[in-house]
Amino acid sequence: NAGVTQTPKFRILKIGQSMTLQCAQDMNHNYMYWYRQDPGMGLKLIYYSVGAGITDKGEVPNGYNVSRSTTEDFPLRLELAAPSQTSVYFCASTNSPRTEAFFGQGTRLTVV
Amino acid sequence: DQQVKQNSPSLSVQEGRISILNCDYTNSMFDYFLWYKKYPAEGPTFLISISSIKDKNEDGRFTVFLNKSAKHLSLHIVPSQPGDSAVYFCAASASNTGKLIFGQGTTLQVKP
């Protein structure tokens, strides 16, 4: 079972560049989430989706965009990368926010 | 505005003793609470959860207590084992919105 797959695992971006972090799940989960983890700051919710075609802002959405055209995929788009977006990004999915969420291995992004 | 707070960044206990990790929340809309465990360079993994209609849930060595009036929950690990050393995240979900919010995490070290 693949579970939640994130690509790439590592990436270095220059200031002002853009990129898309990919997230795919094969568990037919409706709920998907994007988090960033900064040192000592825990996991901050960027965007989430409760089903295909539906997305909503989390705690720290500025500088990011998402789309959910299929149940399986939930890409996170960074436009005009800034050093403040240097972080580890985690994608997660679940059947319900009341049950276990499954996380990907994370994407370590550095903006220089 | 930190809706889920873990005020202790770290905790150190002796093997065999009890570990108590604490978590506070501010949003009354949260109706489910979960604990996750995270090792370095991996995504978080689910540990245990509790519904807001309960005050205790037990699973082996792990017990979660919920004090709804105080908006406080705690995770008890007994007996603690060196393999429990990890970062523990408290999370809260609002099932009416699908939002899943995490705290800052507590690093637990269990000494042999």
At residue A1, the pLDDT reads: 64
**Chain B residue numbers touching A33 (CB-CB < 8 A):** 100
Cβ distance A30 to A50 under 8 Å?
Answer: yes
What residues have CB less than 8 Å from B60, skipping those under 6 apart? none
pLDDT digits (tens, 9 = 90+) for A1-60: 679 999 999 999 999 999 999 999 999 999 999 999 997 788 999 999 999 999 999 999
Please give the pLDDT value at position A2: 74
Q: Which residue of A has its CA nearest to B91?
A: A43
- Please write the tens of the pLDDT for every residue from A82-105: 999 999 999 999 999 899 999 999
Q: Give tens-digit pLDDT for B80-103.
A: 999 999 999 999 999 888 999 999
Q: What's the confidence (pLDDT) of residue A82?
A: 96
Residue A55, phi then psi, degrees to nearest 5 = -135, 160
Tell me: the pLDDT tens digits for A58-84?
999 999 999 999 999 999 999 899 999
Q: Tell me, what's the pLDDT at B81?
A: 98
Q: State the pLDDT at residue A61.
A: 97
Minimum Cα–Cα distance from A88: chain B residue: B41
Q: What is the tens place of the pLDDT at every residue in B27-74?
A: 999 999 999 999 998 999 999 999 999 999 999 999 999 999 999 999
E-only strand ranges, chain A = 4-7, 10-13, 19-25, 31-37, 43-51, 54-57, 64-66, 76-78, 87-94, 102-103, 107-111
Q: Does A52 touch chain B (CB under 8 A)?
A: no
C-alpha B40/C-alpha B61 separation (Å) is 22
d(CA B98, CA B93): 7
Residue recorded with tokens 């960027």: A46
A81 to chain B, any CB pair closer than 8 A? The answer is no
